[in-house]
Amino acid sequence: MAARWIEQKRQYRQYKARMEQLPASYRTAVAGLERYTNYLGGIGDGDSMLSMLDDLADLFEQGAANGTPIREIVGEDPVEFAEAFLRNYPAGHWIIRERDRLIRAVEQAEEQDTGTQEV
């Protein structure tokens, strides 16, 4: 368990180092996207978060290398871009886990319900 955490920390530092190599305007855009997706997505799974950040880094590194303007990367609506980007990483969303817990709780309650209770 500790080894996994250490590896995730190493990967996160690598991501941050990659971001530092981007031009300032790209770093600003990535920081905004990262902040928004963290608040919006609530990705609590470290592996999912690292996968998302790695893909975000790839996207912006490629854009910077090609001289692609930031608006061409994120489009006219950065919120729509961020939300669409985040939908590619559903496994780590805390809300999905909570939905599953709710469904299991209701199913368990249904199994426990003998049908003899009066409404």
Reported as a single tens digit per residue, the pLDDT across 15-44 is 999 999 999 999 999 999 988 887 776 566
Q: What residues pair up with 93 in beta bridges, in sequence order? A: 43
Which residues does 84 contact at the CB level (< 8 Å), separation at least 6?
none
CATH number of 2-112: 1.10.1900.10
Identify the segments of the chain with pLDDT beneath 70: 1, 41-44, 90-97, 114-119
Contacts 24+ apart (CB under 8 A), 113-119: none
How much is the pTM? 0.72
Q: Which residue has the tokens 């919120």?
A: 79
